[in-house]
Amino acid sequence: MMNIAQLRARLEHSFSPLACECLVDGDHSLTVKLYHPGSGQVDLVISGLKLDSLRTPEAVQGLIDELRYELESFSLRSSRDPDLA
């Protein structure tokens, strides 16, 4: 399993130029925040991810794919609805 620093680095590499913050909660779940480092504008926050499910490179790639989908979905919704931007 990757440690949190390795996971963060992989996410930042995958979502560049966004920065990534990974926080482990008391119940060993993970919160991932993707944001613009210059402005601090947050593009996505996902909470409640189970660390146990991120034991393999394939599982981490699955998380990256899911986060990409969420980012794209939010981008499409906010471009249609100015109240979401």
pLDDT, tens digit (0-9, with 9 covering 90-100), for 16-52: 999 999 999 888 899 999 999 999 999 999 999 998 8
**Structure confidence at residue 83 (pLDDT):** 57
Question: Does the pLDDT at position 75 exceed 80?
Answer: no
CB atoms within 10 A of CB 47: 11
Q: Has residue 83 been placed in a domain? A: no
Residue 45 within a domain: yes
Residue 28: inside a domain = yes
- Distance, in Å, from the CA atom of 76 to the CA atom of 70, rounded to the nearest integer, reads 10
The answer to the question of residue 85 being in a domain is no
Structural domain total, the chain? 1
Is residue 9 domain-resident?
A: yes
What mean pLDDT is predicted for residues 60-64?
A: 95
Tokens linked to 85? 């931007």
**Cis peptide bond N-terminal to 17, omega within 30:** yes
pLDDT at 17: 93
Range of the domain at 38: 4-78
